[in-house]
Structure formats: structure tokens, C-alpha cells
Amino acid sequence: MKQLLSDSLAVYLLLGLLGVLTVISLAWLWFMVNRPERWSQLVDKENDFWVGKGMVSASKAEWFRRFEKGFGQKVLVAIAALLGATGFVGLALDYWRQNHG
């Protein structure tokens, strides 16, 4: 980890990636919570597409719909946002400590 942190460009790229992914996850979570009707429409459209292509069976698509519209999907997105934020803060603090400590 120390060798990775010695390369400033790699650290800045990782921080940028973690920051962007965290913001996207938080925006996705906000959309799912604050616009449930629109989220439901998007989930239905996506599952209908895959059933129409024959890639997913109708019974599996129904299971996916229940999961994606329910609490499970929200928890997964919240965990992704939390991990991204934790990684961003942890990497930033570690890099700052190494250069200023």
C-alpha cells in the first residue's frame, strides 16, 4: 500500500474514481427512494426487454422485479455508496498522513 501511495497520480485517480462512484451510488439511491413510480417503470421496462430477448425466463424476471423494487436493491446501493465514501475518506487520510506526518 505504501508503494501505491507514493505515486501521486495513482492516488488521485483512485480518489477520483471512488468519488465519482460514490456520487453515482448516492444519486441512484436518491432516485430509487424519491421517485418510486419512475423507478418501478424502469425496472419493468428492463425486465420486459430481457424476457423479450429470451435471456431471462418470466419467473426469474418476476423475482428480479420484486428484488429491484424492494428493500434489497436499496440496501445494496446504500452499501456501495457507504463503501465508496469510506474508501475515499480512508485513502485520502492515509495519503495525507503519509505526506504531512
CA 101 – CA 95 distance, rounded (Å): 10
Q: Are 18 and 80 in contact (CB under 8 A)?
A: no
What pLDDT is attached to residue 29? 95
CA 68 – CA 61 distance, rounded (Å): 10
Q: What are the domain boundaries of the chain?
A: 2-100
One-letter amino acid at 65 equals: R
24-52 per-position pLDDT tens digit = 999 999 999 999 999 999 999 999 999 99
65-75 burial, b if ≥16 CB within 10 A, otherwise e? beebbeeebbe
pTM: 0.77
Band of residue 5 on the pLDDT scale cut at 50, 70, 90: low
